[in-house]
Structure 1
Amino acid sequence: MAGKRTRQKGQGGAANPGAPEAPAVEVADEVAAPLTLALPADFRIAAQAAFKQQLIDALDHDAIVLDGAAVERVDTAALQLLVVFQRELDARQRAPSWQSASTVLTEAAEVLGLTQTLKMPAPELA
């Protein structure tokens, strides 16, 4: 959300008693909304050319949220794509947050030992 703050333009007041008082100007603080990337239900590399481009485009955003709730199928190559994405963000000193991750996605990452690398959320207990 964008907030507002008041800033004085120019100099005046106690620092320069002879100068006229500058009017207060409201300046909007700009805070970029996070970019949410929804992983597709069929998250296998053969079907992911478009999603790969979304990841590349997302590298320019400050706040990125990954949503893996819909993932029903995943393969190692797709997880490798996420690892490369994560490493690129690490190099830029940024980290995505996870909105959610399906059981299929979480289990696949666990089997490959990638849950920490991908900074995935802890699985929900039933």
Structure 2
Amino acid sequence: MARTPAKASRRKRAATDVASADVDAAAPESSTADTAVADSASAIVPGASQNVADVAVGPAIALEANCTIKEVAALRERLCAVVATSGPVMIDASAVERVDTATLQLLHAFVRDRLGGDREVTWRGVPAALTDAARLLGVRDLLCLPAAS
């Protein structure tokens, strides 16, 4: 029995909705400007943690409140601009309220490429929404997210 286009479309939408692993959580409002911050963060060094005061602070990438596939192209451009910088790159996730699979995949590729070149990534203000979504998809450790405090 052949599938009708409408049924196939509904199934595809349903599968996409399930696979996106969107997580909603309340997070404090924050500026999303790309600025360096001096607040504490965990340095991404395999097997070690440092305070940002112990590490030179380089460029910062502030994530938007809604990190979805609609915004992933703009985020990719910002990440590509700093992927090869020699100093540490800080990802400020304090504004994140919602994050989907596409964003997590992009963040993983960025962290993987940085670590592969022995370059640091630091995280600031990682909310439960990001941690929970990364845990659900099994990429929390791959993103080198700091331990929950």
Q: What is the TM-score of this pair, normalised by structure 1?
A: 0.68
In structure 2, the residue matched to 1:77 is 102
Identify the match of residue 98 of structure 1 among 114, 123, 133.
123
Residues 100 and 121 in structure 1, CA contact (< 8 A), matched pair in contact too: no
Equivalent positions of 1:102-117 (< 5 A) are 102-117=127-142
- Structure 1: gaps spanning 5 or more residues: 1-31
Asked whether the equivalents of residues 39 and 67 of structure 1 are also in contact (C-alpha less than 8 Å), the reply is: yes
Equivalent in 62, 69, 84 of residue 60 of structure 1: 84
Give the alignment of 1:114-125 within 5 angstroms. Answer: 114-124=139-149
**In 1, distance between residues paired with 2:69 and 2:103?**
5
User: Do the aligned partners of 2:57 and 2:90 also contact (CA within 8 Å) in 1?
Assistant: no
Structure 2 CA distance for aligned equivalents of residues 102 and 44 of structure 1? 16
TM-score by length of 2: 0.58
Which structure has more strand as a fraction of its residues?
1
For residues 47 and 99 of structure 1, what CA distance do their matches in structure 2 show? 20
Gapped regions of structure 2 (runs ≥ 5): 1-55
Q: Is the radius of gyration larger for structure 1 or structure 2?
A: 1
Q: Tell me how far 1:91 sits from its aligned partner.
A: 1.9
- Residues in 1 aligned to 2:132 and 2:140: alpha-carbon distance in whole angstroms: 9
8 Å CA contact retained: 2:84, 2:114: no
Question: What amino acid does structure 1 have at the position aligned with 2:70?
Answer: A
- Alignment RMSD, CA only? 1.7
Aligned equivalents of 1:50, 1:58: Cα separation in 2 = 13
Task: Using the aligned pairs only, state the percent identity.
Answer: 37
- Deviation digits for residues 25-59 of structure 1 (CA, Å, limit 9, x no counterpart): xxxxxxx7411111110101222222110100011
The letter for the 1-side match of 2:114 is L
Q: What secondary structure does 2:125 align onto? A: strand
Q: Which runs of 4+ in 1 moved over 3 A?
A: none
Distance (whole Å) between structure 1 residues aligned to residue 141 and residue 125 of structure 2: 15
Letter in structure 2 aligned against 1:123: A
Q: Which amino acid aligns with 1:40?
A: E
Q: 1:44 aligns with which of 62, 68, 81?
A: 68
More helix by share: 2
